[in-house]
Chains A and B, each alone.
Chain A
Amino acid sequence: MRLNYPSSIRIIRVPCTGKVDVLHILRCFERGADGVYVVGCREGDCHYQSGNFRAKKRVEQAQQLLDRIGIGGSRVRMCNLSSSDAPLFVRFAEEMHAAVLGAGPNPVRAALASKRTITDPPAAGLNAGTGPLS
């Protein structure tokens, strides 16, 4: 349907959101990403039965940790949708883009920004198992 969504999002493919580790999420922020969101199948629809529930737990774990060290838990988010639901995928992308803009650049990066100029706020999106949305 070629719906448009913000171009700040890059997708990394995994077989199931159950494969996304807390370390992966933290690594993104450590490297300077401004936001990470994990997109998995609808609850109860996971092809591997419980993958997306695990992912939800890890996202919560990451949220608490990022809050406590001052990066901000709102930068990481778990979303669930069915692979044919393109409009919802776009809504999640827009919400995430807005949330990241609202939260401002990653504090880790902002602090060191004085040494370098950064153009565009890249946000890495971890999109799992839902394949292409045409």
Chain B
Amino acid sequence: MEIITQAEVQGLDGVPGRFTARVRQHPRYIDTAKCTSCGECAKVCPVPLPNEYDEGLSVRRAAYKRYAQAIPGAFAIHKADKAPCRVACPAGLNVQGYVQMVKEGKYHEALEIIMEDLPLPGVLGRICPHGCEDACRRAELDEPLAIRDLKRLAADRVDPREITVPCAPRRPETVAIVGSGPAGLSCAYHLARRGIRSTVYEAQSKPGGMLRVGIPAHRLPREVLDREIEVITQLGVEIKTDTALGHDVTIDGLFAAGFKAVYLALGAHKGIELGIPGERADGVRQGVDFLREVNLSGMTWVGRRVAIIGGGNVAIDVSRSAVRLGAEEVNILYRRTRKEMPAWEEEIRAAEAEGVKITYLAAPQEILVREGRVQGLRCIRMELTEPDSSGRRRPVPVPGSEFEIACDQIIPAIGQRPDLAALEEVNGLSFSRFGTAEADPVTYATGRAGVFAGGDLLTGPWVAIGAVAAGKEAAESIRRYLDGRDMAAGREPIKNEHPRYRPVPRNEPRRPRAHMPELPVAQRQGNFMEVELGYEDSTGRGEAGRCINCGYCCECLQCVEACLAKAVVHDQKPVEREIQVGSVILCPGSSPFDPSAIENVYPYRKCPNVVTSLEFERLLSASGPTMGHLVRPSDGKEPKKIAWLQCVGSRDINRSGNGYCSSVCCMYAVKDAMIAKEHAHGGLDCAIFYMDIRTFGKEYEKYYLRARDNAGVRFVKARIHSVDEVGPERALHLRYVDDAGRLQEEVFDMVVLSVGLQVTPETRELAERLGVEVDKYRFAVSPPFMPVATSRPGVFACGVFQQPKDIPGSVAEASAAACLAGSLLAPARNRLARQVEIPAEIDVRGEPPRIGVFVCNCGINIAGVVNVPAVVEHARRLPNVVFAGQNLFTCSQDSQEQMKQLIAEHRLNRVVVAACSPKTHEGIFMDTLEATGRNKYLLEMANIRNQDSWVHAQAPQRATAKAKELVDMAAARAATLNPLQEKVIPVNQRALVIGGGVAGMSAAVAIADQGYEVVLIEKEDRLGGMANRLHATIEGWEVPRFLQELTHRVQSHPRIQALTRALVVGFSGFKGNFTTEVLVGPAMYERKIDHGVVILATGAVEYLPTEYLYGQDPRVVTQVELGDRLHGKGAQDLSHVVMIQCVGSRNDQNPNCSRICCQNAVKNAILIKRLNPETQVIILYRDIRTYGLLEDYYQEARKLGVLFFRFDAQAPPQVEAGEGGIAVRFHDPIIGRDLQVDADLLALSAGMVPADTEELASLVKLARTPEGHFMEAHVKLRPVDMATEGLFICGTAHSPQLLNESISQAYAAAARAITFLSKSRLTLSAVTAKVTADLCAACLICVRSCPYHVPKINAEGVSEIDEALCHGCGICAAECPAKAIQLNWYEDEQLLCKVDALLEGVI
């Protein structure tokens, strides 16, 4: 079998028997073969997510395991598309990654992630325009994250120079880079990482480009810039300052000097002229030149009143620098309005705070000059036109609005252009009309081979991070260029139109963005100290905590480092698979109804104490969020009063649209109430508000009565109108009308919504993809009398997707589906099953024990606590131990191979593995032993993980000491082990079916179709059983035709022998080899039948009522008799028909519900109304139990005018025979008055009574319920198996059920039987008990104490135990007063030697 997780079926083509299924498997990002589920990745994963397993009540990590006992046990990583912030960043930084690292305080790791792409974290942490923040989806909740400030926090806490930057091995080629701005530096950095050494030529006296000369120190302190440039130079990059291109060096010169490639990153440093008169005057100075001088020398001349023209960042930087340099009045003039200013909002605000005035809609016309010096500026008002085609509004001057400003210095800052002087004459370079260099947008290669360009030189003045990105891409191009590889291949940026992100969690508490502390304005005067002071640790980590992890996993790769098994594979891709199969079974199940869809009725979202039943189930569960401690979600106190509201999202057309009944909510509500009371040790008041309590399954009614009468659960028949939260405790106030019509109000601590089951939309799409028809409620449509088939042959449906049902129903139906799916493929049985061949076993008996001890580290699961080498050393010195060793993961494939060699090499005949629990890993090591020819029972495991390192983590010395002792015990037992052989018995591949009703016949046909002989015996003289008396099902399918066809198939089937008038008189044998004696036919001649399995389908009959004058008055009939009458005489002559439910059921004699009577009554009532709408039909009921899709028929009956009256068990209707008809008196609780109806026909809904199996049960020793139904082995997990293996039950012999359910259970029993019949031989467990004859005193104690009645006194007068029947519990061995019985593999000596080994030396 192969389990394919995280997969979806995309499509299914082909014909039954030969399908091709297209399956798409989403990446798990963890290699299941390597993962040992140690959980270290989850420990270091920073991403908290709501845990779906706990319905969101607890938190799990992006690296997670669904639940502790999950199979497959490997962990998985939950990852969606790259977060929007990552996509928005031009340099592609893993923003989500480093934000999470900052949140965890792992600043070193944060820097490692950042410096993967960006060498200047501190710099960009201060001046980046943070496009990522604009894309941050947190804005949908409150405000985007302050991502830039978090990057700075990381760079402030850890010096970027200490981060080891992994570089490829040195390459011979060298590259020349012109310009040490962000583009140049980034290109040098990324070339160095690729092993390519580069030299950077910088025209200015200091490196950094615009970072140095453009951005003033109050925004970017010099020491930060210098420190981070060192990050690059320490990789071997050499920066030569004061060497300008075209002046000191030329491109040709560089090539000549041996550089293999040149990267032009000159930037855009030339200011743009205003183009107005007087620009040459003294006192006019370009913004960039002003800033260059300030930033390089720290000083420059500044006027008293300064006018700055322009609205970008340069203008703001100039203004704030001017203020700092002492200018009294600084005025910015800008042609448009504040909204269009390209400068960043926080920068503009800071400038205004520092006293800078901004005049909008003003443009300079002429500089007023006197004696060559600036006196003032004449400007003109502007106004904005309507948005033109590009959506921008152009400024046009307002005629006559000139005005003048007095100023002694004018600084234009209306933009920059690259200085192309040095480049014009280089051939091969081309330039755009904007005066910028041109290069390939993807590869950044220019027209001239080996010459690349990037940064502002290419784009004109743009953001620094854009230049860094350009540098990085250019470096990749240069490497490919040097390798001679195609530079553009695979680098087209693929645009993901509709990315999948984590939905924004609505109920996340709102938290505003953290405020960046700033230098008070007063202290900024006259100095260039940094204004933004950076976050405190706590503020920064808090701010990072606001991230909602849009991509789920943030790819911070912490798990990769934590995983010792090297199992994490982050670049796994989805896998499309085409799988050849013969048939398909659809059981996608359902999901609980989400009550937030009807929030107005039940305030599920608003009130924390209103929970769904599945959330309540998690609160009760020991593995749940509160470890089973039932507490109120709002305040963690133990609730005193809890209410359950039934039918939420079920039986409710107008609100949720789910008209069906989900069939399980009543049962789980009753159970939860009982368990809750158990948890609260009494003192808990549980009330269930219901319409009908539908406990229709086998033994369910008794459970309901136990809850109501013993456990004191209150059942209130009322539908709650509304739930309101009240008081500080957030308790819940419920209002409802009781039976007597009085308004009742109660306050509860918690309200549990018993949500129904709903087929998800994804499942409907799956069904559509596979061509499987679904009904209006999305359940699979199955043809009549074929409950598990679907509209598409070869595709079967079971579980809740087929119809709402509980776990026993689903399990039975799953087996039924297996049966039908298998019957198609009978010829191909065992063809694909893989057989493992085992080498011959070496007989080690008699050899002295040679034990090998293998101690496991289990990564750090054991080694993290226990000193493994010490345990190995200790083990080496133990008696009989000839080898002791350790491995990182003993269960991994390579360790197993190594173990095989060691076993052979040291001729080991016993193996001790000190690792984890035998329950999960015994099989692996047993297979390894077998593979080396050793008997697999020569293995002993010491659990030094679950019983030691995991539970004594806080005391390593003690844990190590205990590990040694556990190994002592294991070695002692290993020495006593002897090889055991698993007994193999032949299987008689023929089935015996007892009972020829629909169930028996269906099972017989199913088995025969799969190629096995079937003997069907029926005690009546004709097949069909109860079905003979039925006409049609409630769905309108005709029973007689189906029955006639089924009977024909049985009688004509080559592999079925049907024996009627046959009685079982003898039974013996065990699973696989039974013998039954039967008396057949009127002559009662005896027949002995040998067979391998038995299917009991003895069926049931309608209860013959003794109440309500039945049998005394012809006008009182049962529902089946009513069916006959209606099909015979119709209903024309009927004016009043009364029906009484629960006759012979739910009373003292038969406390169980017979399940089928309600739908019988509704079926007949609808039939009557169809035949004669005038007839008045009245149904007196205790609970209408039309479960599942039958609810629609109950709805239809009410629409047709059938009247329903409820009565209590204590006050049943009174019936009296009279001339005018049967007088039926009953009490109507609604109007509170007694009513009487003279019915001309009284129909009793008689329940089902199992056929008499007294004699059969005693012969075959079958366990039965007090009411006579056969007892299954496990009500949930083995519903059709019996305790004794090889015996199966189906149909109404198991419990009352509908025809379709009987058929489904018949196929289930067939499937279970086939798991036996399909094997010619059966291997039995070797762990069975055996008796030493001469010690046995024949005292019968073992015979009496064995729960399975296996030991027998044999001919020699001593006890004998049949290995085939023994279950291996060992009870007889412990009870035997003569100590004559030993249990294989658990002999007394093998247990006591552990005690002796442990306590050696203590006495």
Binding site for B on A (CB under 8 A): 1-5, 7, 10-16, 18-21, 23-24, 27-28, 30-33, 47-51, 54, 58, 84-88, 108-109, 112, 118, 120, 122, 124, 131-134
A112 touches B1403 (CB 8 A): yes
B contact residues, range: 35 or more
Q: Which A-chain residue is minimally distant from B1402 (CB atoms)? A: A32
Q: Which of B763-771, B1049-1057, B1369-1377 contacts A (4 or more CB under 8 A)?
A: B1369-1377
Q: Which of B1318-1376 contact A (CB under 8 A)?
A: 1327, 1345, 1347, 1367-1371, 1373-1375
Chain B min CB distance to A126 (Å): 8
Chain A residues whose CB sits within 8 angstroms of the CB of B920 once the complex forms: 132
B917 touches A1 (CB 8 A): no
B1395 touches A28 (CB 8 A): yes
A18 touches B1370 (CB 8 A): yes
Q: Which A-chain residue is minimally distant from B952 (CB atoms)? A: A7
Chain B residues whose CB sits within 8 angstroms of the CB of A54 once the complex forms: 1345, 1371, 1374-1375
Chain A min CB distance to B1346 (Å): 9
B878 within 8 A of A: no
Partner of A4, one of B953, B1369, B1386: B953
B969 touches A10 (CB 8 A): yes
B472 within 8 A of A: no
How far, in angstroms, from A109 to B1399 measured CA to CA in the complex? 11
B1403 touches A108 (CB 8 A): yes
B1402 touches A109 (CB 8 A): yes
- Given known pairs A2-B951, A12-B1391, the reply for A31 and B627 (CB within 8 Å) is no
How far, in angstroms, from A111 to B1369 measured CA to CA in the complex? 38
Chain B residues whose CB sits within 8 angstroms of the CB of A48 once the complex forms: 1347, 1367, 1369, 1371
Q: Which B-chain residue is minimally distant from A125 (CB atoms)? A: B947
B588 within 8 A of A: no
A132 touches B919 (CB 8 A): yes
Chain B residues whose CB sits within 8 angstroms of the CB of A118 once the complex forms: 1402
B1347 touches A50 (CB 8 A): yes
B952 touches A4 (CB 8 A): yes
How far, in angstroms, from A10 to B951 measured CA to CA in the complex? 12
Chain A residues whose CB sits within 8 angstroms of the CB of B1347 once the complex forms: 48-51
B1395 touches A124 (CB 8 A): yes
- Given known pairs A10-B969, A11-B943, A11-B947, the reply for A1 and B68 (CB within 8 Å) is yes
Chain B residues whose CB sits within 8 angstroms of the CB of A13 once the complex forms: 918
Q: Which of B1383-1403 contact A (CB under 8 A)?
A: 1383, 1386, 1388, 1391-1392, 1394-1396, 1398-1399, 1402-1403
B5 within 8 A of A: no
B953 touches A109 (CB 8 A): no
Chain B min CB distance to A54 (Å): 6
Chain B residues whose CB sits within 8 angstroms of the CB of A7 once the complex forms: 948, 951-952, 955, 958-959, 962
The tally of CB-CB contacts under 8 A between chains A and B is 140
- Given known pairs A10-B966, A54-B1374, the reply for A24 and B1391 (CB within 8 Å) is yes
Chain B min CB distance to A118 (Å): 7
Chain B residues whose CB sits within 8 angstroms of the CB of A20 once the complex forms: 1374
Chain B min CB distance to A97 (Å): 12
Q: Which A-chain residue is minimally distant from B1329 (CB atoms)? A: A19
Chain A residues whose CB sits within 8 angstroms of the CB of B1374 once the complex forms: 18-21, 54, 58
Interface centre among A88, A118, A132 (most CB of B within 10 A): A132
B1371 touches A31 (CB 8 A): no
B531 within 8 A of A: no
A12 touches B947 (CB 8 A): no
How far, in angstroms, from A20 to B1403 measured CA to CA in the complex? 23
Q: Which B-chain residue is minimally distant from A24 (CB atoms)? A: B1391
Q: Which of B899-955 contact A (CB under 8 A)?
A: 916-920, 943, 946-948, 950-955
Q: Which B-chain residue is minimally distant from A116 (CB atoms)? A: B1401
A31 touches B1396 (CB 8 A): yes
Chain B residues whose CB sits within 8 angstroms of the CB of A51 once the complex forms: 1347, 1369, 1371
Chain A residues whose CB sits within 8 angstroms of the CB of B1388 once the complex forms: 21, 23-24
- Given known pairs A7-B962, A12-B1394, the reply for A132 and B1371 (CB within 8 Å) is no
How far, in angstroms, from A2 to B616 measured CA to CA in the complex? 24
Chain B min CB distance to A56 (Å): 13
Other A-B contacts than A18-B1369, A120-B958, 14 sampled, CB-CB below 8 A, are A2-B950, A7-B958, A18-B1371, A20-B1374, A21-B1388, A30-B1403, A31-B1395, A32-B1403, A33-B1395, A33-B1402, A48-B1367, A85-B628, A86-B622, A133-B946
A15 touches B1383 (CB 8 A): yes
How far, in angstroms, from A21 to B919 measured CA to CA in the complex? 23
Partner of A131, one of B623, B919, B948, B958: B919
How far, in angstroms, from A40 to B1368 measured CA to CA in the complex? 16
Chain A residues whose CB sits within 8 angstroms of the CB of B617 once the complex forms: none
B622 touches A10 (CB 8 A): no
B965 within 8 A of A: yes
Chain A residues whose CB sits within 8 angstroms of the CB of B1391 once the complex forms: 12, 14, 24
Q: Which of B954-991 contact A (CB under 8 A)?
A: 954-955, 958-959, 961-962, 965-966, 969
Partner of B1399, one of A18, A32, A120: A32
Interface centre among A10, A87, A120 (most CB of B within 10 A): A10
Chain A min CB distance to B38 (Å): 11
Chain B residues whose CB sits within 8 angstroms of the CB of A120 once the complex forms: 958, 961
Chain B residues whose CB sits within 8 angstroms of the CB of A28 once the complex forms: 1395, 1399
21 contacts between A and B (CB under 8 A): A4-B953, A7-B952, A10-B1398, A14-B1386, A15-B1327, A15-B1386, A18-B1369, A19-B1369, A19-B1371, A30-B1403, A31-B1395, A47-B1369, A48-B1369, A50-B1345, A54-B1374, A58-B1374, A86-B623, A131-B919, A132-B916, A132-B920, A134-B946
B1371 touches A50 (CB 8 A): yes
B622 touches A84 (CB 8 A): yes
Partner of B627, one of A32, A87, A122: A87
Chain B residues whose CB sits within 8 angstroms of the CB of A124 once the complex forms: 1395, 1398-1399
